Amino acid sequence: MKPSKINFYSENSFNLEAQEKYAGWIERVISSEGKKLEEISYIFCDDEYLLKLNEEYLHHDTYTDIITFDYSVGKILQGDIYISTERVDENAREYNVSFEEELRRVIIHGVLHLAGYKDKTEEESSLMREKEEEKMKLFHVEQ
């Protein structure tokens, strides 16, 4: 088996179950966008950890669920994706979905950013949501 180019790390007590299943899904999503995977690292953390990154690198003094550092070149995707599991948990309750579903949405949101999708305008956000829905369906597709 080839070593995965998708890494999962944790700066808090969160542990992602079924990492191979998630990695396979992420690879299918990347492929479906006509991109190639170099390496992606997911770093799960708490709100304060992500707030510090948000302030230091993006100059935003707000909590967020995800920050994506994109090192991609052309169609070759590479990046670090930081996810606050506290924020994911809170958002899951707010949107009345399971933690797992909200986590998958956030995980794939980061990949879509690496693939070139933005969410700054209403139009971009709308397309991002459509893509998230489309890619979420690929989670249960085994290949």
CATH number assigned to the domain comprising residue 49: 3.40.390.30
Residue 131 inside a domain? The answer is yes
> Tell me, what's the pLDDT at 83?
98
Residue 105 inside a domain? The answer is yes
Count up the domains in the chain and report the number: 1
Residue 94 inside a domain? The answer is yes
Q: Which residues of the chain have pLDDT under 70?
A: 1-4, 142-143
> Tell me, what's the pLDDT at 4?
64
Provide the 8-state DSSP code for 60: -
Predicted TM-score (pTM) of this structure: 0.94
Phi and psi, residue 78, nearest 5°: -155, 140
Q: Is 59 annotated as a binding residue?
A: no
Q: What's the length of the chain?
A: 143
Helix, strand, coil in percent for the chain, rounding step 5: 50, 20, 30
Residue 51 inside a domain? The answer is yes
Residue 101 inside a domain? The answer is yes
Q: Is 80 annotated as a binding residue?
A: no
What are the tens digits of pLDDT across the range 16-42? 999 999 999 999 999 999 999 999 999
| Distance (Å, whole) CA 91 – CA 97 | 8
Give the residue among 143, 133, 68, 141 at the shortest CA–CA distance from 101. 133
Residue 1 inside a domain? The answer is no
Domain containing 115: what range? Answer: 6-140
Q: Is 65 annotated as a binding residue?
A: no
